[in-house]
């Protein structure tokens, strides 16, 4: 089991605000291909964002949506999973950046097949490129790096990248993808 705590540190006030705390544990499988469960104690909810807002560490946020033209064809008596919401939150002085077309609240991009990198939730380059382009900072940290989609986007945007990944196979895949992006040979 791994417990990850994500904190926002203010360079101006020195204040720390816990944005999320997740417990990740392997509930089956082996080291090569585990069956992981992540439980968020704080952060991935309106309540967690509200607490960050009232603590003063986050001044604004926007709800954005990734539209999937090719969602998984299963719906389990529910709607198709053809959208994925995500939140971009920022503190004063770090508002989203980019040209006019980068400021849309939606991005339409096809899902990446699991077989592409032997990972169930690879994010499309177009989605990660948009997210990274909108981040005002010069360094990106991804505490759940997976196969490195965020790192590839950071390299393409000319930003420094720090990635953390528990799975050695996914870590190696991420390193290869990021190295290819640095060399300009990424697809």
Cα torsion through 163, 105, 127, 119, rounded to 10: 70
pLDDT for 94 equals 85
Residue 47 in domain: yes
* Residue 4 structural domain: 1-56
Residue 79 lies in a domain: no
Is pLDDT at 132 greater than 60 in this prediction?
Answer: yes
Comparison of pLDDT for 105 and 77, the residue scoring more = 105
Q: Is 68 within the bounds of a domain? A: no
Domain presence at residue 160: no
C-alpha–C-alpha distance, residues 93 and 137, integer Å: 10
Could you report the per-residue pLDDT of 6-58, keeping only the tens digit for each? 454 555 555 655 544 444 444 454 444 444 444 444 444 455 555 655 666 67
Number of domains in the chain: 1
Q: Are strands 60-67 and 34-42 parallel, antiparallel or unpaired?
A: unpaired
């Amino acid at each position: 089991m791994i417990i990850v705590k994500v904190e926002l540190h203010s360079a101006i006030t020195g204040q720390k605000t816990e944005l999320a705390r997740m417990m990740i544990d392997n509930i089956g499988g082996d080291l090569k291909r585990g069956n992981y469960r992540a439980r968020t104690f704080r952060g991935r909810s309106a309540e967690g964002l509200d607490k960050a807002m009232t603590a003063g560490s986050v001044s604004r946020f926007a709800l954005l949506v990734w539209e999937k033209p090719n969602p998984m064809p299963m719906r389990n008596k529910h709607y198709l999973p053809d959208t994925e919401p995500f939140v971009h939150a920022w503190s004063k002085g770090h508002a989203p950046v980019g040209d006019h077309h980068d400021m849309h609240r939606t991005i339409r991009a096809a899902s990446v097949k699991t077989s592409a990198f032997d990972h169930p939730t690879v994010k499309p380059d177009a989605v990660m490129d948009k997210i990274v382009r909108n981040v005002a900072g010069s360094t990106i940290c991804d505490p759940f790096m997976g196969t490195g989609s965020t790192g590839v986007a950071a390299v393409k945007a000319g930003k420094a990248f720090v990635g953390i990944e528990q799975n050695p196979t996914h870590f190696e895949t991420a390193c290869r993808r990021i190295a290819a992006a640095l060399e300009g040979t990424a697809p």
